[in-house]
Amino acid sequence: MSTQQGSRFFFNVDWITILIYVALCTIGFVNIYASIYNPDTSSLFNFGSNYGKQLIYIITGLILGFSILLLDAKFFSVFSPIVYGITMLLLMAVLVVGRNVGGNQAWISLGGGFRLQPSELAKFGTALLVARYVGNFNPKFRDIKSIFIVALIIIFPLFLIMLQPDTGSGLVFLAFMFPLYREGLSGYFLLIFLGMIVLFIADFLVPLYILIPIILAVGGFFIYQNKRKQKIMISIVMATIIAIAYLFVVKLAYEKVLEPHQRIRIEIMLGLKSDPKGAGYNVIQSKIAIGSGQLTGRGFLEGTQTKYGYVPEQSTDFIFSTIGEEWGFIGCTVVISLYIFMLLRIINLAERQRSAFSRVYGYCVASIIFFHVFINIGMTIGIIPVIGIPLPFISYGGSSLWSFTVLLFIFLKLDSNRMGFI
């Protein structure tokens, strides 16, 4: 089997996923071009400009991706602790030697105008190690010990990223919930997580004197349901107490821990504040741009909001507003459908793996991409607070594009080798 692989590198590679990948990269390039397009000075191949650079990133990304397909599939499993270790070292290094861009100390300058964002690398570093741990020990997460170990693997980089501080990239690490859930982590963790988010939002919108009685009533209802089962009753009581305590902790953390700009973003998203000229400017302009696209969009290079620079950071985090304005509801639906198709495909591919390592890694890839897409698009249309993370494969930027490419192509390599043993 290994001889077969050696002679035919691209045998069994899932070309459908690669096709979607290329499509998304192309959409990215076209829209970055439109975002930067200036009616006065326009030439398609200007490598000094951002769309020129993005073209280079796409080409080098493809080269990088196909190089990964040339590697031995065993490499990733074997070297995953080392990759993880290196990325953690980089995350620590960036806190010392990093360049401060936009309030976050997230970049390491590599000279020649290129710079590296270790938090991007940490995503697949962590994904590899999580996959390795699950693949090796098959823990099922029924015991505290395995949960503790896997949590450590995930929370360590998260903690380092939060120190930068880069909340957006940090939040993405919550995506690892999904692969762990698939591997046996209790569904309660997801529910608790969901409950935390609901309570967090409710904490801002509903006064405590209404919220606390509601929680007590719900708790009381469950106690009544399980009045014969003492053990469950205790955990319900505990849960109720924790829920109420959580409300106060959130309030406190909100005041003490979050930066003022983060607080404002949350308040704007929840509709508690409107600040069209200040912190809310990005979201409002982004919504205007997307909304003005209507059903079919204004057409390529015809978006007035895009052309005349009304949306800040439009080629990076807010690239989706260009798509919305120039390609309309139809264009947006096509892009979202491409993502969903890719994600469902990756999960289907993951499920056909013989090795747990490949399967877990596949889930990690899908979940990380999903988180990015959801948070990024959600933020541009105003249903999620402004969190600065890129739209995978589409947003301008080498670090982001390459890291997603590596993330994806490692999985494609593992998948092409699905019949082999790792």
Binding stretches for another protein (CB under 8 A)? 178, 181-184, 285, 287-295, 304-305, 308-310, 324-325, 328-329, 332-333, 336-337, 339-340, 343-344, 347, 351, 363, 366-367, 370, 374, 377-378, 381-383
Shortest CB 49 distance to another protein, Å: 18
Distances (CA, A) of 55 to 22, 69, 79: 12, 21, 31
Nearer to another protein, 35 or 104 (CB): 35
Shortest CB 117 distance to another protein, Å: 26
Nearer to another protein, 171 or 218 (CB): 171
Nearer to another protein, 40 or 255 (CB): 40
Distances (CA, A) of 390 to 58, 322, 369, 409: 15, 14, 10, 19
Distances (CA, A) of 346 to 341, 357, 406, 409: 9, 14, 15, 11
User: CA-based Rg of the chain, rounded to a whole angstrom?
Assistant: 23
* Residue 109 φ/ψ, nearest 5 degrees: -75, 130
Shortest CB 312 distance to another protein, Å: 8
Nearer to another protein, 67 or 337 (CB): 337
Shortest CB 372 distance to another protein, Å: 12
CA dihedral 37, 39, 43, 47 (to 10 degrees): -30
Shortest CB 344 distance to another protein, Å: 6
Nearer to another protein, 225 or 304 (CB): 304
Shortest CB 309 distance to another protein, Å: 4
Between CA 189 and CA 195 the distance in angstroms is 10
Place of tokens 């903690």: 159
Read off the tokens for 89.
């070292």
The answer for residues whose C-beta is within 8 angstroms of residue 3's C-beta and 6 or more apart is: none
Between CA 50 and CA 36 the distance in angstroms is 8
Nearer to another protein, 259 or 351 (CB): 351
